[in-house]
Amino acid sequence: MYRFKVLILLFLFIKASVSSDCVQRNYGYSSFVCVCNSTFCNFDGVTTPFDSTEVKVIKTSIDQFRNYEEILPRLDGTVDSSQVDFSIFVNPNVRRQEVVGYGGAFTDSASMNIKSLSQEAQDNLMNMYFGDEGSRYNLARIPIAGSDFSTHPYSYDDIDGDVDLVYFNLTDEDYSYKIPLLRQAVSLASEDFYILASPWSPPSWMKTNGKFNESGELLREMWQPYANYLVKFFEMYEDNLGSTLWGFTPQNEPLGGFDPNWSFNTCGWSAEDSRDWIASFLGPTVSNAGYRRLQFLIDDFNRSTLPWYTLPTLSNSTSEQYVDGIAVHWYDDFTFGPEPLDETHEIAPDKFILYTEACVDRGTPDIDVALGTWDRGEMYVTDIIENSNHWVTGWIDWNLALDLQGGPNWVGNFVDAPVIVNATADEFYVQPMYYAVNLFSRNVQRGATAIYNVVSNDYNDFIRTTAFQNPNGEIVLIAANTAEKAFTIGVINENSEYIFKYTIEAKTWLAIIYKD
């Protein structure tokens, strides 16, 4: 059932589209969730048109709104600056990186949780993420075999010593869960749906410690067989999907495998070994098998590993030629500034930077799943804003859906997710984190360009902004008020004219859209 949307003519120039369709449920945390089930889900609907004399505002707030749309008159004039608390300067002539997209991960657990719902509720959930009337996700990440978000550790060839990969096979997790959902996502997306694959661990028998987890590296004599294993995965996955993959990383979090206490699937790669493997084994094997068409992203770990971890690979011309981009995880974004991203872009301006994993792992409150917590959504929004201002081309969330505990996870590494499934009730709960990614994925198109934006009087860090120009020319300004009080903001264009004046309430996120 689609969202009921009414256009009300308030007076001659002011239109507002009103929606009161989120079925709110409050679990005692700072905000609420929207409850969806087999017969109801609050879709955003189709995009409301507006013209060059108007500005569209889409608002989500801690206490009331979820993607509330208003069409307001545009000013195009001067405003007494004493009437605004903050002016936001936007200049589409100063252009930066191009957007690849936004998405989430079909882990084994996410896929099983989605499939634990009735077909109708599953369809609502999938539409909400991938449909035109939902978040319009155009990217997904998948683990190559198991990760911690699986019910048990495994690889695609767990027969000891099978170096010729005779027993290589995908698993029930792929055939019954991930592949059918990926096919549905591909068919729901209105553009090329990009699938990025990453392995957590090679088969345990290929490793120095004989285990999926803890401290272990790939045995030297397995450098070629494991490259063959990845190619075999590309072949079999594409055959079963009926469409192509978009890209891969050679290893998720490659430094995890040097930690003896690393509890889940991993494999250690020093930056130098990674370079040598790519230059002499993985790169040629992937290319000779016809998979150079896949985007090849390196690192796939925290920003604090930038740029040093990528330097050996990027400064060797043999390994560098196989690499298209750099994958980054968000886990230390709140302790390290964004400078490593700028530095990496300066060193390798032709390699794109993509965030490939993010999730909230406790914090305040100190509980894995805290249904409706606003702060977790605010962390997502402020992170995507900051990264968009530092050369990052897109953002992939971690588990698309988890259960009420934040799992399943075979090592008990439970976390929160934008959508939490209650299989018993055949319901799912849509959290503020969902609306955080949606703020970008629904409004910023693939191929948009990040543009110059800056906030005046930015002495207090309360108003965070980033801006894009979509391929159709529309400007999309994203603004988040992280403070506990309202501010009046003014948007100023490159000709120093005020486009717009608006009061942004406490703890509110906006997408402000207007024609260039």
Ligand X SMILES: *[C@@H]1O[C@H](CO)[C@@H](O)[C@H](O)[C@H]1NC(C)=O
Stretch that binds ligand X, among 49-57, 154-162, 257-265, 507-515 (CB under 6 A): 257-265
Does residue 157 belong to the site contacting ligand X (CB under 6 A)? no
Sole binder of ligand X in the list 2, 89, 205, 331 (CB under 6 A): 331
Sole binder of ligand X in the list 52, 78, 81, 169 (CB under 6 A): 169
Catalytic-labelled residue, pool 357, 378, 427, 474 = 357
Asked if 506 and 485 touch (Cβ cutoff 8 Å), the reply is: yes
Annotated active-site residue 253? The verdict is yes
Evaluate the CA torsion angle 191, 136, 252, 406 in order and state its sign: negative
| Residue 372: CB minimum distance to ligand X, A | 10
Three-state secondary structure along 24-67?
Answer: EECCCCCCCEEEECCCCCCCCCCCCCCCCCEEEEEEEECCCCCC
| Residue 379: CB minimum distance to ligand X, A | 13
Sole binder of ligand X in the list 20, 47, 240, 422 (CB under 6 A): 422
Does residue 263 belong to the site contacting ligand X (CB under 6 A)? yes
Measured from the CB atom, is 62 or 255 closer to ligand X? 255
Measured from the CB atom, is 219 or 411 closer to ligand X? 411
Peptide bond into 180 cis (omega under 30): no
Stretch that binds ligand X, among 14-22, 420-428, 436-444, 453-461 (CB under 6 A): 420-428
Stretch that binds ligand X, among 93-101, 130-138, 299-307, 347-355 (CB under 6 A): 299-307
Does residue 452 belong to the site contacting ligand X (CB under 6 A)? no
Q: Give the angle 111-116-120 at the CA atoms, nearest 5°.
A: 100
Does residue 97 belong to the site contacting ligand X (CB under 6 A)? no
Does residue 1 belong to the site contacting ligand X (CB under 6 A)? no
Measured from the CB atom, is 35 or 189 closer to ligand X? 35
Measured from the CB atom, is 15 or 275 closer to ligand X? 275
3-state secondary structure of 420: strand
Stretch that binds ligand X, among 96-104, 255-263, 352-360, 457-465 (CB under 6 A): 255-263
Strands (E) in 205-332, as ranges, are 247-248, 295-302, 325-329
Does residue 171 belong to the site contacting ligand X (CB under 6 A)? yes
Q: Residue 72 is inside which H or E element, if any?
A: strand 68-73
| Residue 229: CB minimum distance to ligand X, A | 15
Asked if 491 and 500 touch (Cβ cutoff 8 Å), the reply is: yes
Q: How many residues bind ligand X (CB under 6 A)?
A: 36
Q: Phi and psi at residue 484, in whole multiples of 5°?
A: -90, 5
Tell me the DSSP string of 236-263.
HHHHHHTS---EE-S-SSTTGGG-TT--
Distance of CA 88 to the CA centre of its chain: 26
Residue with tokens 């979090």: 253
Closest CA to 271 of 317, 319, 226, 231: 319
Measured from the CB atom, is 265 or 469 closer to ligand X? 265
Stretch that binds ligand X, among 56-64, 143-151, 312-320, 475-483 (CB under 6 A): 312-320
Q: Which of residues 56-85 bind ligand X (CB under 6 A)?
A: none
Sole binder of ligand X in the list 316, 449, 456, 482 (CB under 6 A): 316
Sole binder of ligand X in the list 97, 249, 302, 344 (CB under 6 A): 302
Closest CA to 161 of 205, 204, 213, 208: 205
Does residue 251 belong to the site contacting ligand X (CB under 6 A)? no
Asked if 415 and 400 touch (Cβ cutoff 8 Å), the reply is: no
Q: How many CB atoms lie within 10 A of CB 272?
A: 12
Q: Residue 144 is inside which H or E element, if any?
A: strand 139-144
Closest CA to 70 of 54, 82, 81: 54
Catalytic-labelled residue, pool 69, 70, 217, 253 = 253
Q: Which positions touch ligand X (CB under 6 A)?
A: 23, 37-40, 153, 169, 171-172, 175, 213-214, 255, 259-261, 263, 275-276, 279-280, 301-302, 304-305, 316-319, 331-332, 404, 411, 422, 424-425
Q: Catalytic amino acids?
A: 253, 357
